[in-house]
Amino acid sequence: MEPIWNEWVENLKVYEPGRPITEVARELGFDDVEDFLKLASNENELGPSPKAVEAIRNQAAGVYRYPDGGCFYLKRKLAAKLDLTPEHLLFGNGSNELIVFLGHVFLGPGLNLVTGECAFAVYRLVAALYRAGVVAAPMPDLTYDLDALLEAVTPDTRLVAVCNPNNPTGTAVGQEDLDRFIERLPGHCLAVFDEAYIEMMPEDRRPDLMRYVREGRENVLVLRTFSKAYGLAGLRIGYAAAAPAVIGLLNRVRQPFNVNVLAQAAAEAALDDDAHVERTRTLAAEGCRTVAAALAELGCETVPSVANFMLVRVGDGGKVFEQLQRRRIIVRPMGAYGLPDYVRVTVGTPEQNERLIEAFREISE
C-alpha cells in the first residue's frame, strides 16, 4: 500500500490502559483467571448498583433498537439532581469521548492545551490528535499548582485541564484555590475540570464547581463519569456540564447514538442509589487508610489520596509490577507518567487489600 495516510498519525502515542485479567493470565501461562486480582484501573470493586443491574436486564431485549440519541430521560434526571437544565449537559461514550470532542472544537495546529505534568494522559493524546501543543506545568508534591498553570497560559492556549482529584496521583486542590484560579483565567481559555473521582472524595473536602455552570460562566466545563463510583466502567458513559452555548458546540461534533441503550438505562437507575455511592466512598477511604498504614510499616511511602487508588513508592516500579503479576495481582507501573519509582494501586474490599498487603510483605522480605 502506498503511503496515502497522514504521516503525522504514525507519531501518535497509543494510550495503554490497565491490562485485562485474561490477557495477563494468557501471557504468564495461567489457565485459571478466577484467582487474579486486578488493581490497575481504579474500578469500583463493589461493582454496580443492584438497581443498575436490574435496569440492564430490563432493557436487554430492546438492544435491537437504536438508543435515544439525546439521552432524553437520563439528561432530565441528572439535570434535576445537579440543579441544572438539560441544556447544560452532554453525554459521551465515557468522559474520554468528551475530551475528544473538546479537542475537535477547541484545538488545532498552533494552539495549545495546558495541564499538569502528571495529569491524566488522555489530555496529551487528544492534543496530539488535533496537532496542538501541550504545556505541562510543574506539580509540586504531585498536586496541581494552579498558579503555575496560569503562568503557563499563552495567547495560543485554548484549554486548561485540571483533574480533581487527579489521576494518577490521587491528590486534589480545594475550593478557595479553584475559585481564585477561575477568577484569574484569561477569557480566551476554557477551564476543563475533570471530576471523574469526585464522588470518592470526603464530602467536606469536595469543591462545588457546578455552581459556575449554574451561574452561566461560559469558560468553565466540568467532566464526570459513571465509570468509577457508580461502577459502570464497562458500559462507557460520562457527561459534560457547561453553559448551553458550549454544550451546543460539543454536540455538533458528536456522532449520533454515541451512548448505548444499556448504558443509559443503567446510569439512570444508578442515580437512584445514593447509598451505593456512599458505600463505595466509605470503602475507598477506609481502604486507603488501611493500605497506606500497612505499607508504611514495610517502608513504602504512599501519596495521600482522596480517591480509590494511591501511588506507592517502591524504588523500581516496573520490577514490582512484574513481581506482583507473578502473584496474580495486576497494578499499574507509572513510568509513562515520569514516575518510574512508583506503582499505582486500586484499593478494593478488605479481603483484596489484605491480599495486596501480603504480596508487598513477600516482595519486601
Q: Is residue 1 part of a domain?
A: no
Q: Is residue 313 part of a domain?
A: yes
| Three cell numbers, residue 250 | 460539543
Place of cell 506507592: 312
| Per-residue model confidence (pLDDT) at position 16 | 77
Convert the pLDDT of each residue in 22-61 to its tens digit: 777 777 777 777 788 999 999 999 999 999 999 999 999 9
Q: Are residues 40 and 74 in the same domain?
A: no
Q: Is residue 158 part of a domain?
A: yes
Domain boundary pick from 249, 270, 291: 270
CA dist., res. 95 & res. 93, Å (int): 7
Residues 6+ apart with CB under 8 A from 107: 113, 126, 127, 130, 132, 158, 159
Q: Are residues 152 and 283 in the same domain?
A: no
| Per-residue model confidence (pLDDT) at position 173 | 97
Q: Is residue 31 part of a domain?
A: yes
How is residue 12 annotated by DSSP? P
Domain boundary pick from 251, 270, 289: 270
| Per-residue model confidence (pLDDT) at position 299 | 94
Domain boundary pick from 270, 300, 321: 270
| Per-residue model confidence (pLDDT) at position 47 | 97
Convert the pLDDT of each residue in 304-346 to its tens digit: 999 999 999 999 999 999 999 999 999 999 999 999 999 999 9
Q: Are residues 280 and 142 in the same domain?
A: no
Q: Is residue 327 part of a domain?
A: yes
Q: Evaluate the CA torsion angle 240, 241, 245, 246 in order and state its sign.
A: negative
| Per-residue model confidence (pLDDT) at position 160 | 98
| Per-residue model confidence (pLDDT) at position 157 | 98
Low-confidence ranges of the chain (pLDDT < 70): none
What CATH number did the domain enclosing 292 receive?
3.90.1150.10
Q: Are residues 89 and 233 in the same domain?
A: yes
Residue 308: which domain range? 7-47+275-364
Q: Are residues 321 and 255 in the same domain?
A: no
Q: Evaluate the CA torsion angle 184, 190, 195, 198 in order and state its sign.
A: positive
Q: Are residues 22 and 156 in the same domain?
A: no
Query: Are 228 and 44 in contact, with CB atoms under 8 Å apart?
Result: yes
Q: Is residue 288 part of a domain?
A: yes
Q: What is the pTM of this model?
A: 0.95
CA dist., res. 144 & res. 182, Å (int): 14
CA dist., res. 113 & res. 127, Å (int): 7
CA dist., res. 303 & res. 301, Å (int): 7
β partners of residue 71 = none
C-alpha distances (whole Å) from 267 to each of 183, 216, 238, 260, 261 are: 33, 26, 9, 11, 10
| Per-residue model confidence (pLDDT) at position 119 | 96
What CATH number did the domain enclosing 190 receive?
3.40.640.10
| Per-residue model confidence (pLDDT) at position 29 | 74
Distance from chain centroid for Cα 84: 22
β partners of residue 114 = 135, 160
| Three cell numbers, residue 359 | 504480596
Radius of gyration of the chain (CA): 21
φ, ψ (nearest 5 deg) of residue 320: -65, -40
CA dist., res. 70 & res. 56, Å (int): 19
Residues 6+ apart with CB under 8 A from 191: 160, 162, 181, 182, 185, 219, 220, 221
Query: Into how many domains does the chain fold?
Result: 2
